[in-house]
Amino acid sequence: MRFVLVTTQAIREFFTNRRNYEFTNRRIYEGQKRTFVLSYFRNFVISRVHPSRLMVIGKNSQIVYNVHAVTLPKQEHRPMTTLRELRQRVHHNLLILKEREARYAGSPPLDLLNQIQDHQTALELINQALNQPNPDLEALKEALRPLLVAANIEQLDLDNLKPELPLQPYEPETVLIPAGPFWMGQDAGPDIPPEETPRHQLDLPAYRIGKYPVTHRQYAVFIQQNPAQKVPQRAGWFLREPPSDLLDHPVVGVNWADAVAYCRWLSEQTGRYYRLPTEAEWEKAAAWTGSEARLYPWGNRFEPGRCNSREAGLNRTTPVGAYSPQGDSPAGCADMAGNVQEWVSTLWGSDLQKSDYPYPYRPDDGREALTPPHLYRVYRVYRGGSFRDDRFRVRCSARGRADPDARSRWRGFRVVREER
């Protein structure tokens, strides 16, 4: 393996000359086909391991960074398209205006009072439209424009306003998880991995989560509409067709970026906002009864007939819901123990043995970042265990981690739909 001393200019040339990637002062570099996460340094030794991989070697010959040019779907602004999203934006701005009003101690300026009144009128009009089966959107737009002139809502948003589509056949079925606190993790003990401790309380807003993992049948619609999207690997697909005998099994052979891309596509198609669950959202949906957190979705004792874990001896996936209702969570979610491991959005960190983001879980400490904060090989969390995991690994609080680029025949995902 040949090593040379290079500078940031060499990295610039490496990507610019070979793949036409734009080199800027940001950590994210978007090219024609992919997005890469990079950082840069003064001097280091670099080895070209693969056309899209670089290995950074320190002067003491130790690997400093394995520059795992992480493939990510492009993150583009999706314009506001539905009445529900418009209502959320108007309501948010109304709260800001009311906060400003409170600062004036009872004597707010007239123009501020007028803006508040306009926002309240706009909310009434939007709510009326939401209660109609076929609202007249053109008339609504004309009524809203003068009301929202000071609402920081761009003209483009109103021009792209569309009625919310009814649920589509390819959309995953979801269940509502009510807002409120729950207990996450475990108390420290001799058999409890340290990454699951301490047990702590966390408050989450309401959301909807997939009743089942995404299936081959549902994922196939995404593949058929996106010719550039790579098909699942080692999952029985032939060319771009899913395995006909596994259509209702969880889709596997997808990496973390594939799952994120599917959620974005689903959001664009339906006007509803889909994404991967955070691990906190996943655990609440799997374990929380409303008053206590269970060890398994069905209770605190392992029972082999309630899930597709290693104890079942199948060594393969089963159709989603095959263990329903006896294996369902209190919220009504199926397959949250066994069948397939499930990608979540949460970062684990660069050390496979010790998380960079320990408990207590904090959604604002960087663990939910779409792009990792540095160039180390960064792992993502998965939850739920699979048909190859034993009873210990399919507990609701068990935290797994994997290379986000990895595609395996025992890992899939489910979606979250935000309540907006």
Per-residue pLDDT reduced to its tens digit, 196-238: 999 999 999 999 999 999 999 999 999 999 998 999 998 999 9
Confidence at residue 38, expressed as pLDDT on a 0 to 100 scale: 40
- Report the alpha-carbon distance of residue 406 to residue 386 in Å, rounded: 15
Look at residue 41 in the predicted model and tell me its pLDDT. Answer: 37
**What's the rounded Cα separation, in Å, for the pair 265 and 267?**
5
Number of other CB atoms surrounding residue 406 within 10 Å: 15
pLDDT of residue 254: 97
Res 157: pLDDT: 65
Nearest to 318 by CA among 250, 264, 372: 250
CA angle 393, 396, 401 (to 5 degrees): 55
CA 90 and chain centroid, separation: 25
CA–CA dist 251, 1 (Å, integer) = 38
Residue 322 confidence (pLDDT): 98
Compute how many other C-beta atoms are within 10 angstroms of the C-beta atom of residue 211: 21
What's residue 327's pLDDT? 98
**Amino acid at site 226:** N
Q: What is the per-residue pLDDT for 5?
A: 38
Residue with token string 């339906």: 270
Cα–Cα dist 256/135, whole Å: 39
Q: Which pLDDT score, from 0 to 100, does residue 32 have? A: 38
**Which is it for strands 207-210 and 274-275: parallel, antiparallel or unpaired?**
unpaired
**pLDDT score recorded for residue 161:** 79
CA distance 173 to 333: 10
Distances (CA, A) of 104 to 98, 150, 242: 10, 19, 62
Task: Tell me which H or E stretch contains 330.
Answer: none
pLDDT at 174: 97
- In which residue ranges of the chain is pLDDT below 50? 1-77, 154-156
pLDDT of residue 66: 41
User: Quick one: pLDDT at residue 372?
Assistant: 79
